[in-house]
């Protein structure tokens, strides 16, 4: 009986340990993660030398070779162009934190699950992309808390990237989302483990 109680306590403790664990999900711009509505596939691009370096884990992206004007085949995007870039991802559990950083040339809006959390700065000053957030420089990087807009399940984040002042064009984003398992799921896991432990011990006693 003492062994049985020790086993049960160990299993319950393992369930408490599980509850302390958190899952981390990364979202980032890349040809593999991000789709767009231009009719051309998303591609990783060589950035304009004046742009900020890509955010950690991400790539500057576009629907054509629109980054560095010095690269062969560089394409100039006409002023007034708007292309929507989208990433869809699954989350499981309670969202405890979620941050997103965004860069763009010339500027972009940010929409999470249908809610616009940042409207693009259209009609502004564009000496080097947007002179205010969101732009392509470190000083015009947009940083957001997107946790209130995320859900347990399928999520979609999209960016309407605008060309306002000619030459280069692109998008770069990266974020980290932390979730914890739902308490009900943890209780079921712990109960199942406890049941298995009792069953295994009972079989030993009968044998």
**How many domains would you assign to the chain?**
2
Is the per-residue pLDDT at 19 higher than 70? Answer: no
User: By percentage, how much of the chain surpasses pLDDT 70?
Assistant: 78
Which of 11-15, 148-152, 190-194 ranks highest by mean pLDDT? 148-152
Residue 191 sits in the same domain as residue 164: no
pLDDT band at 61 (very low <50, low <70, confident <90, very high): very high
pLDDT at 166: 84
Domain interval for residue 6: 1-21+181-207
Burial degree of 3 (CB within 10 A; 0-12, 13-18, 19+):
exposed
User: By percentage, how much of the chain surpasses pLDDT 90?
Assistant: 72
Q: Mean of the per-residue pLDDT values for the chain?
A: 86
Residue 1 sits in the same domain as residue 102: no
- Taking residues 10-17, report their average pLDDT: 47
Residue 138 sits in the same domain as residue 149: yes
CB atoms within 10 A of CB 161: 27
Residue 203, phi then psi, degrees to nearest 5: -65, -40
Residue 134 sits in the same domain as residue 114: yes
- Taking residues 70-85, report their average pLDDT: 96
Residue 81 sits in the same domain as residue 2: no
Residue 1 sits in the same domain as residue 57: no
Residue 176 sits in the same domain as residue 200: no
pLDDT at 207: 52
Residue 51 sits in the same domain as residue 27: yes
CATH number at residue 90: 2.60.120.260
pLDDT band at 22 (very low <50, low <70, confident <90, very high): confident
Is the per-residue pLDDT at 41 higher than 90? Answer: yes
Is the per-residue pLDDT at 124 higher than 70? Answer: yes
Residue 90 sits in the same domain as residue 135: yes
For every residue of the chain, DSSP letters joined together read -HHHHHHHHHHHHHHHHHHH--EEEEEE--TTT-EESSSS--EE-PPPTTSPPPPTT---EESSS-S-TTSTT--PPPTT-EEEEEEEEEE-SEEEEEEEEEEEESEEEEEETTEEEE---TTS--SSS-SSSSSSSGGG-EEEE-GGG--SEEEEEEEEEE--SSS--EEEEEEEEEEE--HHHHHHHHHHHHHHHHHHHHHHHH-
Residue 3 sits in the same domain as residue 27: no
Residue 37 sits in the same domain as residue 121: yes
- Taking residues 82-98, report their average pLDDT: 97
**In residues, how long is the chain?**
207
Is the per-residue pLDDT at 11 higher than 50? Answer: no
| CB distance 129 to 140 below 8 Å | yes
Residue 14 sits in the same domain as residue 67: no
pLDDT at 12: 45
């Amino acid at each position: 009986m003492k062994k049985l109680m020790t086993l049960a306590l160990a299993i319950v403790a393992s369930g408490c340990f599980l509850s302390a664990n958190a899952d981390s999900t990364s979202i980032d711009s890349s040809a593999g993660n991000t789709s767009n509505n231009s009719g051309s596939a998303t591609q990783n691009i060589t950035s304009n030398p004046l742009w900020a370096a890509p955010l950690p884990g991400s790539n500057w992206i576009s629907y054509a070779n629109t980054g560095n004007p010095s690269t062969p085949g560089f394409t100039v995007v006409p002023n007034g162009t708007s292309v929507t870039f989208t990433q869809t991802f699954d989350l499981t559990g309670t969202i405890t934190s979620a941050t997103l950083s965004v860069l763009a040339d010339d500027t972009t809006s940010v929409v999470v699950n249908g809610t616009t959390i940042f409207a693009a700065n259209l009609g502004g000053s564009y000496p080097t992309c947007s002179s205010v957030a969101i732009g392509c420089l470190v000083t015009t990087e947009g940083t957001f808390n997107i946790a209130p807009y995320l859900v347990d399940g399928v999520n979609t984040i999209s960016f309407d990237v605008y060309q306002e002042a000619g030459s280069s064009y692109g998008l770069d984003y990266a974020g980290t989302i932390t979730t914890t398992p739902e308490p009900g799921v943890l209780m079921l896991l712990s109960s199942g483990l406890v049941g298995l432990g009792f069953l295994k011990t009972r079989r030993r006693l009968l044998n």
